[in-house]
Structure 1
């Protein structure tokens, strides 16, 4: 069959499947009455589709896997909608929901594939692997009956082998320093938390810092626990870091924003073609209404992160610091389908309290939509605020009368350009090849016993002063094939040294050992501390 005939055959099928999908989605609409005008059309179209599908199933020249045909066609149907309406096959639902639900079934280790060997970076405290006797630094050479050392398996494949139903068992065969033979450990899989608040600590006597990577079902609880801890430590101001946070559950963002606002303050409103306007306002019961709050954003802060930043900005509650956010102002609902799959369907736009829609245009296709960040960089936006042009027709006012703009992301109150100080080709190469990270892992492996009693990042940095870390790393990278460039190493010295210390801090103490060190060269964070 030539391409023309094949296209002629598939086109009516795809169109028909679109109608079927619409019927399936309609079953899960919260208000069926709103769809009554179109209800009389669906049976006629459904019958036509049944006929076409029946033709294929019973009369087509070859055997057709109808389930596979539909699975492959649904993403094509959704492709011409907005970029955030997606289909999630049943096989992918568990992974898709992990960040939202906040847990998964697994063995409880962070691992890194170092020199083709799966090496335990960190054992989750109190988790299944710790109970089974797995230690930081152990090499996993076999999962069940499958060899994972020295074989061509990527991280996702190995992770899938370790995950499974709560209560199920898996044998891990490990190699440990000082032990002459491999050791087999049987691990009973448990509920492993997916942490959404990466870290929370005091920057100084009065300023707290909290970084969250998503807005999931358990994020609010993590957030409140972290905030209470910081308050007990003397916090008078909080810097909330939403850089690279791509969003999540709308209700979680609303609950977090509510903690900072007086009563009856508009947080946002939503509205769609089939949805009447719905306002979300603060209830006045927030615990941190008197705490100064500033928010860090970047070009990868999206959705719920932008809702949070927009509500703080439009209510003149605090400063937004960083660079223009992504520009996602659409609300999705996850609609389950009968086979365990789901559609995340865009049902409304959200608007910040001033009335802004911050959704950037998507009418020229997904490729251009997602390349917008690259185009911003090439246009100079990452380095110059003045390179951004605003549409005067999309001008709005905060409650205090400040001018803000809609049409594509949240523009910060304090613009901080991307820091290019110390950027060299050598720095890019040692980062791209992961030799810098590999060196820190190798260092930790050799000094693990000496560092086991170091309790905070300050102790780690004091310990590391005795080592010529940058020079050692450069020699390590040279042995792995990256030629030294002493001139560029000198130019990038401070960045290299700080990154090395931060990665070693993470190996030793997890994120609480990483962020306080890397923050020392984080110009956006340092600007926020000055405000």
Structure 2
């Protein structure tokens, strides 16, 4: 039985229409028959024609195209183009995954891959280890951050126009297979030899779980993958042991993942027998998912962070806790994906992700935003920007016909994502094209790695993340080095942009240095130093008990109002 999943937002882009379009539409109607006749035994593609249909005629059409078309046609490629065109007309989240793409698409949600276990970057045509993955074979073998891999299984790979695909080709492989590496290490003249046995490498989805102040814990989840619940519980246990009474749960940029992983996470914050989500479609009877017990953290204050990149399973979590009055949601309106996909494997090792149902939050909300021929679904973020919604809560379009009420009287809306209880406008302070260019080109990341790698002995005086974040300062000399690196990457120094963005750039550079020295969690911790949504969430956590629902809205009461409420109670 295929797993029911909520698809990730950063899905494979839909194929554009091409010169093949007339031919594609000519054969769309025959695909079900053709695939069924070639993939017998898979009931997904069983075709039961009505009396007026002529399946033999349809099969003949596609065969005649192959046999008689004026130019040679690659049948497999043509069929895959047609499948994508057909699915494109259904909804924005149904799509086909070719056999060549399936493994890479599944890896982030499976939570692992097979290889040697290093995070890397390509720098000046050289493969540089950013860090060995914790618990992986490279860490066990003694590979270090900063090592340069110059040869793999006798093949010299440095200085040859190295690409990411080439690196993946030579380093990834089946568990149990061996690979010989030759490595240059800073401070060592000799080439080092390593023989590494490939293994299963974890891909972590909980990238930060840390106390941010007494009583307040912070946890960031990047996707709902196969192992995410276990990672989440480990992170929560750490925060609970450290005395966290409030949890800031960061789902910004989390495009979703597995529905069956999101449900037990929500359950941990609810009382017994509470509806978490239900799904329903024309061919899918209503299925309810309820909490089976009182959650371990049902007594903790919960602050959920969302933005337009929070989709699917993230919205299920945010919506369920909001509908049960168990959280305060902070940020900007979420993506608005309320459709559920089944992944259907095909015999040629490709797969179909087909929308089979809509999901609804406990109050009955469908948060799927509109789609169709007249709607530019993929341009939603720009539409929000142009409308002013990213800057003002008043610009969010709410449909009164999709108004719902929580048990405590809070008014919530369906029809286009989760609207936060506490809106935080997008922060444009420090923004500039120069900063964006250096960020997206990877210049800040590379320079941060280079600096921390070449000053590793000096920076070792910082024993842990906390001491580094408190004590380390990015100097003007370091920034000059960054600007020079930008020029080497083709970006001319911009004094006006430096004046506008300099302080934010320092924080970003410090974050990349922290990552190189202490790992991913240090990176995310450092970024919180310049994060207005996090700052707002921290204030909410500090004053959580002073919020009340007034006239359908969640409102922070004044000290006098709190005292009056306590007296009344």
Instruction: Report the TM-score when normalising by structure 1.
Output: 0.90
Q: Which runs of 5+ in 1 are unaligned?
A: none
The answer for the alignment partner of 2:291 in structure 1 is: 282
Distance 1:50 1:247 in 2: 39
Structure 1 position 372 matched with structure 2 position 380: yes
1:431 match: 439
Give the corresponding residue for 2:83: 74
Mean alpha-carbon deviation: is it higher for 162-171 or for 342-351?
Answer: 162-171
Which of 330, 334, 342 lines up with 2:339 in the alignment? 330
Gaps of 5+ in 2: 1-18, 541-569
**CA-to-partner distance for each residue in 1:232-274, whole Å, 9 max, x for gaps?**
1101111110000000000111110011111222111111111
Number of the residue aligned with 1:202? 211
1:444-523 to structure 2, matched below 5 A, reads 444-452=452-460, 454-462=462-470, 464-465=472-473, 467-468=475-476, 469-478=478-487, 482-523=491-532
For residues 486-522 of structure 1, give each alpha carbon's deviation from its aligned partner in whole angstroms, at most 9, with x where no partner exists.
Answer: 4543332321221121110001111121122211111
CA distance in 1, matches of 2:470, 2:33: 65
CA contact 1:18–1:74 (8 Å) conserved in 2:
no
Query: 1:16 — aligned with what?
Result: 30
2:343 aligned counterpart, secondary structure: strand
Shift of 1:58: 5.9
Instruction: Give the structure 1 partner of residue 161 of structure 2.
Output: 152
The 3 A distance-change label for structure 1 pair 523 and 461 is same
The SS at the match of 1:165 is coil
Which residue matches 1:530? Answer: 539
CA shift, 1:47, in A, is 3.6
Q: Which moved more, 1:441-450 or 1:14-23?
A: 14-23
Partner Cα distance (1:76, 1:231) in 2: 49
The equivalent position to 1:416 in structure 2, one of 424, 428, 431, is 424
> Are residues 1:381 and 2:395 paired?
no
Q: How does 1:243-282 map to 2 (within 5 A)?
A: 243-282=252-291
Greater shift, 130-139 or 150-159, is seen at 150-159
Seen in structure 2, the aligned counterparts of structure 1 residues 15 and 387 have a Cα distance that, compared at 3 Å, is same
Instruction: Judge which range, 253-262 or 382-391, deviates more.
Output: 382-391
| SS at structure 2 position matched to 1:492 | helix
RMSD: 2.7
SS in 1 for 2:210: strand
Distance 1:196 1:480, change over 3 A: closer
Partners of 1:510 and 1:365 in 2: CA distance? 45
Q: Which moved more, 1:171-180 or 1:515-524?
A: 171-180
Deviations 1:103-122 (A, max 9, x none): 10011111111233211110
Post-superposition offset of 1:424: 3.2
- What is the CA–CA distance in structure 2 between the aligned matches of 1:461 and 1:483, rounded to whole Å? 30
CA distance in 1 between partners of 2:170 and 2:457 (Å): 30
Query: Is residue 403 of structure 1 aligned with residue 411 of structure 2?
Result: yes
Q: Is residue 2:301 matched to residue 1:292?
A: yes
In the alignment, the residues of structure 1 paired with residue 224 and residue 51 of structure 2 have an alpha-carbon distance, to the nearest angstrom, of 37
CA contact (8 A) 1:272 1:347 kept: yes
Q: 1:340: which partner in 2?
A: 349
Q: CA deviation digits over 1:369-413, x for unaligned, max 9?
A: 111111111221111111112122111111212111111111100
Q: What residue in structure 1 maps to residue 230 of structure 2? A: 221
Is contact 2:24–2:78 with CA below 8 Å preserved after alignment?
no
2:145 to 129, 136, 139: 136
Q: Deviations over 1:193-238 (max 9, x none)?
A: 0101111000111011100110011100110111011101101111
Structure 1 residues 153 and 17: CA distance shift in structure 2, 3 A: farther
- Structure 2 Cα separation of the partners of residues 45 and 76 of structure 1: 23
Give me the whole-angstrom Cα distance separating, in 1, the residues matched to 2:420 and 2:82. 41
Q: Which whole-Å deviations, capped at 9, do the CAs of 1:463-483 have from their partners, x for residues lacking one? A: 533844334433544565544
Greater Cα offset, 489-498 or 355-364: 489-498
Q: Which string of whole-angstrom CA distances, capped at 9 and with x for unpartnered residues, describes residues 64-87 of structure 1?
A: 544343333322221211111111
Q: Deviations over 1:120-147 (max 9, x none)?
A: 1101233211233322101122333544
Aligned residue in 1 for 2:125 = 116
Structure 1 pair 502/64, CA: closer, same or farther in 2 (3 Å)? closer
Secondary structure at the residue paired with 1:348?
A: strand
Instruction: Give the structure, 1 or 2, with the largest relative contact order (CA under 8 Å, sep 6 or more).
Output: 2
Cα 1:481/1:369, change in 2 over 3 Å:
closer
After superposition, the Cα gap between the structure-2 partners of 1:149 and 1:396, relative to the gap in structure 1 and judged at 3 Å, is: same
- Provide the rounded CA distance (Å) in 2 between the counterparts of 1:60 and 1:394: 52
The alpha-carbon distance between structure 1 residues 173 and 419, as it changes in their structure 2 partners (threshold 3 A), is same
Question: Which of 17-26 and 472-481 deviates more?
Answer: 17-26
Please give the TM-score of this superposition, normalised by the length of structure 2. 0.85
Counterparts of 1:25 and 1:86, CA distance in 2 = 21
Which residue number corresponds to residue 450 of structure 2?
Answer: 442
